Amino acid sequence: MMRFATLLTTLAATLGGCGGGEDGGKPRLTVSAAQSLQGAFEDYGSRFDAATVRFSFAGSDQLAAQIRQGVRPDVYAAASTELPQQLFEEGLVGEPVEFARNRLVIAVPADSPIGDLGDLDRDGTDLAVGAETVPVGSYTREVLDRLPAAQRRAILADVRSEEPDVSGVVGKLTQGAADAGFLYATDVAGAGDRLRAIELPRRLRPQVTYGVAVVEGAKEPEAARAFIEGLLSDPGRRAMRRAGFLAPG
């Protein structure tokens, strides 16, 4: 009887411990961030002193959907300004701020013969792109919408997979499953020498801006604000630059 009670107490304590809170005197901060931020944020997070940071990386749209369903991380960082702005208007996050920019590029395996956008609509070219709802996918469609209709249709006909986030596209390319895809320049750099980036013509480039906000009802609002402030000042800027991001405009 006694032992059973002890077990229950331990279990309750363990489960309770999962819900954030203090960790060795430091607050524990939960950050929901766009998949494309993984490298940069893990770098920045490991240097962030005010809290122990735990990350949840996924497509920005999936993370926004989680927040709409009542999930309460402390910070939400997205690969667009639109998604945090929508959540702000719904009263789910504080006012978002821009903290980085990125470039959308054509990504191909390092040894690919593909040289420019004109090669993508050839027969037998398999493309992997982001799904329409994830920022990388909506930027991709923004680019395609600026092309002549026939070329847009031909490229869309080569799409073999619509991935939920950038890591899906990276995986399909590094495994040689797809011949080309649209990714952020930082994803290509993060894949080491396995992928090569082909720049898009200037007139086609979408503006890729990252927005971040404190989530309403955050357990650690103070640490969340410190995390965002750090992101906008030296330590954050350096980590973002190291990963290849650009400063906000």
Partner 1 sequence: MIGGRWFTAVQVGALGLALAFLTLPLVAIFVDVGPGELLSSLDDPGALDALRLSLETTAMALALILAIGTPAAWLLATRSFPGRSLAITLVELPLVVPPAVAGIGLLAAVGPSGVLGGAVSSAGLELVFQTAGVVVALTFVASPFYIRQAQAAFGALDPSLIEASRTLGAGEARTFARIAVPNALPGLLAGMALAWGRALGEFGATLVFAGSLSGVTQTAPLAIYERFSSDFTAALALSAVLVALSAAILLGVKLAAGARVLGDARA
Q: Which residues bind partner 1 (CB under 8 A)?
A: 1, 4, 59, 61-62, 64-65, 68-69, 126, 128, 131-134, 159-164, 168, 171-172, 175-178
Q: How far is the CB of 232 from partner 1 (least distance, A)?
A: 27
CA–CA dist 88, 82 (Å, integer):
10
Neighbours of 182 (CB within 10 A): 26
Q: Which is nearer to partner 1, 74 or 179 (CB)?
A: 179
Q: Which is nearer to partner 1, 53 or 136 (CB)?
A: 136
Q: How far is the CB of 62 from partner 1 (least distance, A)?
A: 5
Q: Which is nearer to partner 1, 52 or 62 (CB)?
A: 62
CA–CA dist 47, 57 (Å, integer):
18
Evaluate whether 132 touches 141 at the Cβ level (below 8 Å): yes
Give 99: exposed, middle or buried? Use CB within 10 Å, 0-12, 13-18, 19+: buried
β-pairing verdict for 75-78 and 208-214:
antiparallel
Pair of tokens at residue 16: 């309770």
Q: Which is nearer to partner 1, 168 or 211 (CB)?
A: 168
Closest CA to 199 of 120, 129, 117, 130: 117
Evaluate whether 21 touches 28 at the Cβ level (below 8 Å): yes
Neighbours of 20 (CB within 10 A): 17
Q: How far is CA 201 from CA 23, 35, 144, 146, in A?
A: 48, 25, 12, 11
Q: How far is the CB of 225 from partner 1 (least distance, A)?
A: 27
- Torsional sign, CA 138, 100, 194, 38: negative
Q: How far is the CB of 80 from partner 1 (least distance, A)?
A: 12
Q: How far is the CB of 156 from partner 1 (least distance, A)?
A: 11
Q: Which is nearer to partner 1, 177 or 247 (CB)?
A: 177
Q: How far is the CB of 5 from partner 1 (least distance, A)?
A: 12
Q: Which is nearer to partner 1, 128 or 231 (CB)?
A: 128
